[in-house]
Structure 1
Amino acid sequence: MFIGLVAGLVGLALGTFGVLAYRVSERQRRLLDVDAEEPALPPGAAEVLAVVGRAFVVVDAVDGVVRASPAAYAYGLVRGHTVVHRELLDMTAGVRRDGVILEKQLELPRGPLGQGTIIVQVRAAMLGEEYILLLADDRTEITRTEEIRNDFVANVSHELKTPVGAISLLAEALESSADDELAVRRFAKRMHKESGRLAALVQDIIELSRLQGASVAQQGRPVDVNAVIAEAVDRSQLPAESKNIRIVVGGRTEAKVFGDQDLLVTALRNLIDNAIRYSPENTRVGIGVRSREGLVSISVTDQGEGLSPEDQERVFERFYRVDSARSRHTGGTGLGLSIVKHVASNHGGEVTLWSQPGQGSTFTLRLPEMEGQDDGEQQDAAAAAPGPARHSLEEPPVTQGPGAAGATERGAKA
């Protein structure tokens, strides 16, 4: 009897084990069936999308992301398995409803934080019977370049019309006042001023055009920075003397840079002229130069009113003027600092700004030193560098205001 009871228990255990094994096997089979029924792209679609060269997102019937390219995540179109932007979901709904291909250019937030946006050309179309494909092409840089070009053309047209119109009106006034000697002199003086302004504007436009076509890498040569400073200072003496402003040069470098000397002189002259234009009479403009960590830094410091943070963000834009009325009075074209920025970029360098209202401004042009210089070449360049245009070399560049010492350092950090 005892043996029968044991045999019964063993049989019950084996039966229970068999039932459990069957259920586990069924569950695994069902899981495999579910896996087999997971969304799959039409044959060949994955291979085509892999080489299409554009960001893509494939969504199912409920707009769940079936597949997305790394670029789609980088653009911020997809987060996890969700399409982020309502505009894209509206496009998928339209394709699903009407069965047509939709194409739009959208400006979308790049991420959940900040104000950055991305401009994308999006094309939505059916993929197979149940999926919708979104193809996105980043057009941000192209669109903004077109906007800058259009703004530039519009601004040039506007800026040219002003002096041309003034000259035309002055010519008519001059003709009608032929018998009034005082009026003739007054109108002639105004015409001379407007023609000078027009000539300066045309020259700056020509400089910008030349910069865009210049290849410093192919046409450059070793340039002595000391000679660049001397020539730029010499060219700026006349406007400085008209306001009794003294140009003070401090420092010297034996390092050379590789580039176009004429362009570098133009850039530095624009910085000096800008400092003179916005400095009060009977003040000083300081120019400092030094070499450090493979960079040659040239700083121009004025004793003007300084710039607000808002103006500092836009001061290098074409035709931007902090004070339009004052710039027109002083003859500024609004292109000088834009030219400086282009020259710095073409030479692999940069131009930075430190400024505070009431404490003046310091513009710093930094250029990479030319590699492969030897001591003999540097000494020869130092001996040959012209010096007549240097003034008060024993004095440091002019600075002012609390903590003004080290304005060059502040300019480098701007």
Structure 2
Amino acid sequence: MDIKLKNSRWYSAKIKGVVGILFFFSLLTIYLTGVVFFHISRHWDLEIIDTPTYYETELFNQRFYNLLDNVIEVNVHYKSEENVARGDSVTRENLISSFKNYYSIRDGIITQSTQINDTYDGLIILGEIPPELRDNFLEYKSLVEERLPQYRKIYIQNQLADFRAQERELEEYNNFLYCIEEPNGGKVAGNASVDIIVNMDRTIVFEGSYSSNHLKVYLDYANEYLDESGYKLYAAIRDPLLPGDLFFQEGEEFKMVKETLPILFCLGGIASIVAICCLVYLVVVAGQSERDGVVVLTGVDKIYNDIHFLMVAVAGIVSMAFAYVISGRIYYRSFGADIYQKTGFQSLDFGSYAFFILLGVLLITDAAIFLSFILSMSRQVKKHQLFRNTFIASMIRKIGSLFSGKTFQGWIVFILLGYGAVNCILVTFFLIAAYKGAGGAAFLFLTFIAGFNIVAVFLCVRSLNSLTAIMNSAKETSRGNLGYSLDITHISPSFINFALDIENIQNGLKKAVEEAVRGERMKAELITNVSHDLKTPLTSIITYVDLLTKEKLDNPTAAHYVGVLYEKSYRLKQLIEDLIEASKASSGNLTVTKGKVDLRQLVMQAIGEMEEKIEKAGLIIKLTCEEETIIYADGRHMWRIAENLISNVIKYSMPNSRVYIDILHTQNIGLLIIKNISESPIEVNAAHLTERFTRGDESRTTEGSGLGLSIAKSLSEIQGGQFDIHIDGDLFKAIVRMPLWNEKDTEA
């Protein structure tokens, strides 16, 4: 028992919910570790994992290389701000090449036949210009004369701005030391002496190419300006680094990253293991509340598995597309600018963080969709319906049902497929013949197509006519026309089984109705015969009892017994008469002579004749009849209806209560409504009360045969009226509806 309880506890909804939350939390942890790792990798190469010091990183090497270039550019190429401003650092080749690129001038016959002069404001013609290129030459000449002098000034201004920017950048690095020396030992420029630099641990010396290297940085480094100048370049980096520049910031960041990476890898690995374990657990317990328990499917399991798979695949593809776009935006924001001009953890903007959040939401959404799909597959594997609940299996079952005899015959499917195939073949041959220009063959195939489709339409119309005939037959049967017969000989073979089924239903229904009518007739005859057989001796009994009541009996007990016998014999006589009348009324064997009947007068007469019984029961009759109500009915039958209803009121009404009788009429209908409060609870259905031998007093403590309401209903219906009963708690209401009398009824 304890083991079973423990097993069911592992299958509880709470545990599943906790594990589900843990699964998504693990995925979120994996994603966040990935984001942090991306954040690191965008500034540091993966080699940082195996790189022991900051000085051996690609980032340091690249920054150091850029500073070397800046030193040579500023001090060897540009030399000084005055030199740049005079234009002495402008080379003819570089200026002309830049000018041509800016104005999209391509080298050709014109540039080969001309030369820009030394003042950069005109052309020197070296060869003959072809006449067809004369206009192009004039355009080129005008461009050189008008634009090149101005372009040279702009070029010098750009060099001056570049000089100042590089000089300013060199001043920002207090950990970078350099000195440029002439071949004779004179100092050209630098922020430290040669003695200080050569005595440092991390130095490099360039004389043409490198001559000594203690940095392991770009051993193949070369600079054309340095080679041409003959200068010697000494450079070094402090170790340890001092605060104040990017070298120090990146060195500190390197240490932090080296300490963070093992934690990230460990956290990501643990989260991955936890996520896998949670997924395995959820798959194992999916759909069950205890081990080996009943598998309960959910709403998502109603989706066909192959359709479900396609939905998940489409969601995955759409998510991958979104992820690709989002990742591209993140990459652009992260790597779009020069990475060596900024530090790693200071370069992400708000937009990048927003994209990371959006990517995380997308990941969690995809994980939820994937988990729902996997758990659905798990439940259906346990339910042994993995393939059965697929669209393919459903189609196979539906196609199989065509051949099972439960629907149309299977060969109809082949006829439809064959019809389409034949049309395709004929149309193909017709198109080929028309394309080849074979008019006779094309006409022949067109004739075949027309003839084939005419025959198909004829057969289709015949089948539709058969279906219409079957539907008409079913409609006639639903209307009660059991004599309608379906002609099977004109039914299409496609619907012959359907027609036979309808015919069998009609025959069965007709037989059932005939048997029911015959049984009802036999029952009525039995009741009539038995009633007549009972009536003959009962008449003799009543006669002799009547004679005994007229005799003077000295014995009081005998006189009492004679009185009881007289009362019961008359009650039995009334019961037999009611039974005969009920039988005749239900079978429609009563004669109906309809005429003009004053409903108000008839009811008042019935109340008057039963006044003694009404007073004895302590009832107060409240009759409401505002206008004269003349109905078209049989007076004898209406009297019996009124008598039965008032007798019913006397028998079952609460003593000393009021009975409301309303006589009114609408445009075409006269209404008799009788309402009373029942003495005992009415626990019988209203529709059941109008059945024969049903009494509202199931204990049968009151007199009555249970035929009064049944007779009233039957008599109302054979006169073309309606009889309804409504029960609301102890309130009993009987409603008789009869057509109003009019002049046309007299003429009839």
TM-score scaled to structure 1, two decimals?
A: 0.54
Following superposition of structure 1 onto structure 2, how do residues 64-83 of structure 1 map, counting pairs within 5 Å?
64-66=494-496, 82-83=498-499
Return closer, same or farther for 1:200/1:58 CA change in 2, 3 Å cut-off: same
Residue 348 (structure 1) aligned with residue 348 (structure 2): no
> Contact (CA 8 Å) 1:248, 1:286: kept in 2 or not?
yes
Following superposition of structure 1 onto structure 2, how do residues 382-397 of structure 1 map, counting pairs within 5 Å?
none
Aligned partner of 2:446 in structure 1 is 24
2:510 pairs with one of 120, 126, 150: 120
Aligned partner of 1:292 in structure 2 is 666
Q: 1:186 deviation in Å?
A: 6.0
1:314 pairs with one of 672, 684, 688: 688
> Contact (CA 8 Å) 1:290, 1:297: kept in 2 or not?
yes
CA distance in 1, matches of 2:533, 2:654: 30
1:234 pairs with one of 602, 605, 608: 608
Q: Which has the larger radius of gyration?
A: 2
> Contact (CA 8 Å) 1:200, 1:333: kept in 2 or not?
no
Return closer, same or farther for 1:306/1:267 CA change in 2, 3 Å cut-off: farther
Q: Which amino acid aligns with 1:335?
A: L
Q: Secondary structure at the match of 2:685?
A: helix
Following superposition of structure 1 onto structure 2, how do residues 259-408 of structure 1 map, counting pairs within 5 Å?
259-304=633-678, 305=680, 307-308=682-683, 311-323=685-697, 325-326=699-700, 329-356=701-728, 358-372=729-743
CA distance in 1, matches of 2:713, 2:600: 20
CA distance in 1, matches of 2:525, 2:584: 16
Identify the structure with bigger relative contact order (alpha carbons < 8 Å, sequence gap 6+): 1
> Contact (CA 8 Å) 2:528, 2:580: kept in 1 or not?
no
5+ residue gaps, structure 2, are: 1-432, 464-472, 474-482, 545-553
Following superposition of structure 1 onto structure 2, how do residues 89-108 of structure 1 map, counting pairs within 5 Å?
106=508
Aligned partner of 1:15 in structure 2 is 437
Q: Secondary structure at the match of 2:694?
A: coil
Q: 1:22 deviation in Å?
A: 2.8
CA distance in 2, matches of 1:55, 1:155: 35
CA distance in 2, matches of 1:226, 1:60: 61
> Contact (CA 8 Å) 2:660, 2:674: kept in 1 or not?
yes
> Contact (CA 8 Å) 1:223, 1:257: kept in 2 or not?
yes
Q: Which amino acid aligns with 2:673?
A: S
Q: 1:143 deviation in Å?
A: 3.8
Q: Which amino acid aligns with 2:654?
A: P
Return closer, same or farther for 1:243/1:14 CA change in 2, 3 Å cut-off: same
Deviations 1:307-337 (A, max 9, x none): 45x63123222333344551xx433122212
Q: 1:190 deviation in Å?
A: 4.2
Q: Which has the higher helix share?
A: 2
Q: Which amino acid aligns with 1:340?
A: A
Residue 197 (structure 1) aligned with residue 571 (structure 2): yes
CA distance in 2, matches of 1:161, 1:332: 22
1:148 pairs with one of 498, 504, 520: 520
> Contact (CA 8 Å) 2:677, 2:732: kept in 1 or not?
yes
CA distance in 1, matches of 2:453, 2:519: 55
Q: 1:361 deviation in Å?
A: 0.8
Q: Secondary structure at the match of 1:319?
A: coil
- Root-mean-square deviation (Å): 4.5
Return closer, same or farther for 1:352/1:24 CA change in 2, 3 Å cut-off: same
Q: 1:274 deviation in Å?
A: 0.8
> Contact (CA 8 Å) 1:225, 1:253: kept in 2 or not?
no
> Contact (CA 8 Å) 1:247, 1:287: kept in 2 or not?
yes
Q: Secondary structure at the match of 1:241?
A: helix
> Contact (CA 8 Å) 2:619, 2:657: kept in 1 or not?
yes
> Contact (CA 8 Å) 1:207, 1:339: kept in 2 or not?
yes
> Contact (CA 8 Å) 1:57, 1:65: kept in 2 or not?
no
CA distance in 1, matches of 2:462, 2:737: 56
CA distance in 2, matches of 1:37, 1:207: 60
Return closer, same or farther for 1:302/1:148 CA change in 2, 3 Å cut-off: farther
Q: 1:267 deviation in Å?
A: 0.8
Return closer, same or farther for 1:241/1:192 CA change in 2, 3 Å cut-off: farther
Q: 1:272 deviation in Å?
A: 1.0
Q: 1:269 deviation in Å?
A: 1.2
Q: Which amino acid aligns with 2:721?
A: G
Q: Which has the higher strand share?
A: 1
Give the percent of matched residue pairs that are identical in Structure 1 and Structure 2: 19
Deviations 1:123-162 (A, max 9, x none): xxxxxxxxxxxxxxxx63x443333333445567888999
> Contact (CA 8 Å) 1:340, 1:351: kept in 2 or not?
yes
5+ residue gaps, structure 1, are: 1-10, 42-49, 67-80, 90-103, 107-118, 122-138, 172-179, 374-414
Q: Secondary structure at the match of 1:192?
A: helix
Aligned partner of 2:413 in structure 1 is none
Q: Secondary structure at the match of 1:370?
A: coil
> Contact (CA 8 Å) 2:631, 2:740: kept in 1 or not?
yes
> Contact (CA 8 Å) 1:283, 1:303: kept in 2 or not?
yes
Deviations 1:165-198 (A, max 9, x none): 9x99xx9xxxxxxxx9676466445433421321
Q: Secondary structure at the match of 1:348?
A: coil
Q: Which amino acid aligns with 1:274?
A: N
